Structure 1
C-alpha cells in the first residue's frame, strides 16, 4: 500500500520576500534621517520663502513678493556673479588634483613625505586656511607682498580691493579642495586595471595618449564624485568669506550663502523669508548642476 506524500509546508511571507526586503531594512535608518533632515527642511524653506517672518513671531504670507524683491536687488546679483566665478575657477581643483595624484602615484624616493605635504591642507580646518591666507595677503607684512617686493612691485591689498578680493578667497579655497580631489584620484588610480595599461603599451600608447584613452576612462567614477563635491563646495562657500572679509569690501566678496546669512541672521533685521528665498534659488542652481551630472552618469551606464 503506497503512502501518500504530505504537501510541502507553505513558507511564510517573510521567508518568501526576505532577500528583497533585507537591503531596504538596512537602508531604512539612512532614508529616514535623509527625509527628516534634508527633504523636509527643503520644503519648509520653500514655504518660509513665501512669508515675511523674523524667526520669532507669526509668519505672514506674502506670496512671491520675496522673489520679486530679489529680482530688483543689486546685492543679489553681485552675490550670484561671485558664485558663478567661484563655480568656474573652483573646477581648476579637479585637473590640479588629478596631476598631483599622477605624480604621487609614482614610485620615487621620499614619496610618503610628498603625499603627507599634499594631504595636509585637507585635514586642517577651513578657519585655519582662512587665517593663514589672510596673513599671507596682508599688505603690511604678508608673504605675498614680500615676494612682490623682490621684483620691485608695489604692495597689493588683495582682500581690500574689490577687483581682487573674490579671486584671493577662491585661491585660498583651492588649496584644500585640490587636496581633496587628489585623494579621490589616488583612490581611483589604485583601482586601475594593470592589464589595460599593459595592453595600451603594446599598442604603443604613451604619455597623453595613455592618460586620455586608458587611464581617464577608468577614473570616471572618481571624476564624477570630484565634480559633484567641487560644485557643491563652490556654491555653498561661506566659511572662508566669513573669516577673511566678512563679505567686504563694500559687499563685493559676498556669495549667495553668505548673503542669505546676512539677511536672515545678521544686520538686515532677521528677514527669514527673504533669506529662505535666496536659499531656494541657491538650491535650484545646485540641483540643475547635480541633476545634469547624475543624468550623464545614468546615460553612460545604460549604454554599456
Structure 2
C-alpha cells in the first residue's frame, strides 16, 4: 500500500495558507515592518538624513511635557466621540432609504454623493460654509438674528466645526454599509416577528440589529480608524490653527517630522507610536466586545 505524501496528508491545513500567503507577504512588507521600524525610530534622535542617535525613551519623556501633544491628543478624542455619531446616523438613513418607493434610487444617490467627493473638496466647501462674512452659516444665523460666529477662527469651536465637516462623508459610508447589511436581513424572521406582534423599536432591537452585527463591526472599526488618523480636513481647513488649537496627532506628527518644526523624524515617530497604541486599544476593545457577543449567540 503506497504511503501518502506529505502534501496529501496535510493538504487541508496547508491550502488555506497558500491562498493567504500573497496577502500576508504584502501585509508584512507594507504594514508590519513599517510599524516596527517606526517604533524603532521613536527611540532615536534623527532628522531623516544623518545617522540616528539612540536616546531611548527621550522622545516620549519630551512628549509628556509637550502641551501641544496633549492638545492634539484631546482633539483626537473629540474626533473619536464625534465620529462615532456617524454609526447610528448611518443606520437611521439606511433604514429610511431601504424602502421600495418610487424615486428612492435618486434619493440614495444624493446621500451617497458625499462619500465619492474628495476630502479636499469637502474641506474647501465647509470652509466657505463657515465663512463669517458671507458663508451660508452666516446668512442662516443672520436670518434668525444671531450674531455671526467665526467657527474656524475660534479655538472653542474650531475642532467641532472640522469634525462636523468630516461627519458629512463618514455618515454616507456607514449608510452604505448598513444598506448592504439590510439587503441580507432574513424576511422570514421579520414576518414571524410581525405575527408575534413585534414592531417599531422591538423589531429593530431584537430582529434587525442582531443580523446587522457584521455591518456594525465594520462601521465602528472604520469610523474609529478614520477619527484617529484624521489629517486632511485639519490640513485643508485650518492647518492646525488658530494657534495650534485644532491640531490632531497625525497633523502634529507631520509638523514635527516634515513641517515647520524641522525634520524631527524620531519625535514624529514617537507621536505616531502613541497614535498607533491608542488606535490599537480602541479596536481591541471593539474586537473583544464582538467576540463576547458572538459567544453569547453561538
**Structure 1 residue ranges, 4+ long, deviating more than 3 angstroms after superposition:** none
Q: 2 CA distance for matches of 1:39 and 1:302? A: 29
Q: 1 CA distance for matches of 2:12 and 2:125? A: 53
Q: 1:13, CA displacement in angstroms? A: 1.8
Q: 1:17, CA displacement in angstroms? A: 2.1
| Aligned position for 1:116 | 109
Q: Does 1:239 align with 2:224?
A: no
Query: Secondary structure of 1:294's match?
Result: helix
Please give the residue correspondences for 1:1-304 in structure 2 after superposition, counting only pairs within 5 Å.
Answer: 8-303=1-296, 304=298
Q: 2 CA distance for matches of 1:61 and 1:17? A: 46
Q: 1 CA distance for matches of 2:155 and 2:112? A: 32
Q: 2 CA distance for matches of 1:218 and 1:35? A: 33
Q: 1 CA distance for matches of 2:22 and 2:231? A: 30
Alignment gaps of 5+ in structure 2: none
Query: Secondary structure of 1:301's match?
Result: helix
1:222-243 per-residue CA deviation (whole Å, 9 max, x = no partner) reads: 0111110000000000000000
Give the alignment's TM-score, normalised by structure 2.
Answer: 0.98
Q: 1:14, CA displacement in angstroms? A: 1.7
Q: 2 CA distance for matches of 1:100 and 1:259? A: 34
1:68-102 per-residue CA deviation (whole Å, 9 max, x = no partner) reads: 01101100110011001111111000010000000
Q: 1:204, CA displacement in angstroms? A: 0.6
Q: 2 CA distance for matches of 1:302 and 1:210? A: 22
Q: 1:203, CA displacement in angstroms? A: 1.3
1:165-186 per-residue CA deviation (whole Å, 9 max, x = no partner) reads: 1011000000000000000000
1:18-56 per-residue CA deviation (whole Å, 9 max, x = no partner) reads: 232121111001001111111111111111001100000
Q: 1:254, CA displacement in angstroms? A: 0.2
| Aligned position for 1:3 | none
Q: 1 CA distance for matches of 2:290 and 2:146? A: 48
Q: 1:11, CA displacement in angstroms? A: 2.9
Give the alignment's TM-score, normalised by structure 1.
Answer: 0.96
Q: 2 CA distance for matches of 1:105 and 1:116? A: 13
Q: 1:16, CA displacement in angstroms? A: 2.5
